[in-house]
Structure 1
Amino acid sequence: MPKRHFKRPRTPRFAALTSKTASWSMNRRLAAGIAVLAVLAGAAGLTAYLTASTDKPAGSPPPASTSSSPSPTASTDVEDSASVPKPPSTHDPVEFAKAAAGALWSYNARRTTQPQHLAGLKAWMTTESKYTDWDSVASQVPDPTLWSRMHDNGQYATAKIAEGHMPQAFTKALGDNPGAITEAYVYVVTVSGKQSIAWRGGGAGAEGRAITLAVQCRPDRHCALSGVSPRVAP
């Protein structure tokens, strides 16, 4: 059988759909995201890092990292699943962020409703309201109308994670003030990988993705998601 060439789907891809739903609030999210992550960091040095990290556009891929080997949870395949996977039980913020990125880049509009998908992602969030930016996570998901169009098109996506790392500026700021993390225990992690999308009729495509996440990992409990940074950090 000849190799199928990529063609643009009749229904916009997930990335295109989310850009429409998020574009109107981008300026608000940029300001809110910086403020939320500054609170999560809890120190002047980390606040300066988070503000500086917004200089790069959200779609810019981070540079290569030495931590490039995928973890067992780094690949999220929802083709045969109707719900968002459960968060892993780990105390490692990088491993958790890689799994969380896989969950954010995966969906199954064929079998899951938009509210069900949001409920699945909600389970990844920290229960500490002071350190939760749910809006930044929910904004990654298309609204119910667009989700319905994706459902009609039989659309689903899977994710392959390439690597995850704490940005150098974050680790330096943390090294300069190690006590800063002990209030919120929120870490900044950048993850890169690939999202593969398929739809009814055999159509398919793939694109590189990158995202920066705030992950809370207290010593006495497993990691949880705090929010999505509005920009990708180096």
Structure 2
Amino acid sequence: MPTSQKERSSRRRATPSRGPLVAGPGSSVLHRSLIVAVVLALLTAVAGLVAYLTRDEPASTAERGAVPETRQSAPPAPAPVKAPKGGQVAAPVKTTDPVVFAKAVAKVLWSYDTRRLSQPEHVAGLKRWMTAEKKYADWASVADLVPDPVLWSRMGDQAQYATAVIGEGHFPQAFKTALAGDPGAITDAYIYAVTVTGRQSIAWTGSEKGTGAEARSSTLAVQCRPDQACRLAAVLPATAP
């Protein structure tokens, strides 16, 4: 089993320190409150979101989906560290369609390649997808999905990488219902809730080879102002149907 999968259970129980990846608790809670105040004006029926946002501590990492069906486990002893060979995170797509953008950004969020990118390079690539409006940008919710530099290095020892295939994207039913009841509610921030489903495949080609796969789903807060390309505002803590 790859390193990130072995530590998944422990990361669910407690949020590890991520250094510069995660904003301070006050900043994270403030940003998340501002963003979701906008989204929840339309998405009030999503169970658990209000309770989540009223917590004092910042959000912990919550990776959704089934436990990977691993066909072969990687050995616990790491191989010698190898420097990444160079690469880049895909550039943001230019679209004004919230669903099209959400599907594209989900593919990027569920993909990584420790063989070709360092952890800071991967982070820098993800930041390009974020909205420039700091009032609505919850970077911490995205950073929670990224392995910290130490874990990334250990994954790199095994040449671990992940690819994603996107199934579909849609506006959650609660979002559509609320928007139909108050169409003008979105015209301030133009933030849409979009749920995306797909499948993530993981492989490692270090001292031993192995693969794994799991179903993934996320609800994303996507900002699409009129006549402007969409950008990511946040990854919401619960997946809305």
Find the aligned partners of 1:21 and 1:81 in 2 and give their Cα distance: 34
Partners of 1:18 and 1:142 within 8 A in 2: no
Over the residues paired in the alignment, what is the CA RMSD in angstroms?
A: 3.1
Partners of 1:83 and 1:112 within 8 A in 2: yes
In structure 1, stretches of 5+ residues that fail to align are 1-7, 62-79
1:84 is aligned to 2:89: yes
Please give the secondary structure, in 1, of the residue aligned with 2:162: strand
Find the aligned partners of 2:13 and 2:121 in 1 and give their Cα distance: 18
Partners of 1:83 and 1:108 within 8 A in 2: no
1:23 is aligned to 2:15: yes
1:37 is aligned to 2:29: no
More helix by share: 1
Q: Equivalent of 2:123, from 114, 118, 124?
A: 118
| Identical counterparts, % of pairs | 51
Find the aligned partners of 1:158 and 1:31 in 2 and give their Cα distance: 31
| TM-score normalised by the chain length of structure 1 | 0.76
State the shift of 1:48 in Å: 2.4
Look up the match of 2:232.
225
Q: Equivalent of 2:44, from 22, 42, 48?
A: 48
Tell me: CA distance 1:112–1:17, structure 2 relative to 1, closer, same or farther (3 Å): farther
In the TM superposition, what are the counterparts of 1:30-179 in structure 2 within 5 Å? 35-41=33-39, 43=41, 46=42, 48-50=44-46, 59=64, 82-179=87-184
Moved over 4 A (4+): 28-34, 50-55
State the shift of 1:110 in Å: 1.0
Look up the match of 1:204.
211
Find the aligned partners of 2:116 and 2:64 in 1 and give their Cα distance: 29
In structure 2, stretches of 5+ residues that fail to align are 18-24, 52-61, 67-84
Find the aligned partners of 1:121 and 1:21 in 2 and give their Cα distance: 25
| TM-score normalised by the chain length of structure 2 | 0.74
Partners of 1:42 and 1:181 within 8 A in 2: no
Find the aligned partners of 1:18 and 1:104 in 2 and give their Cα distance: 21
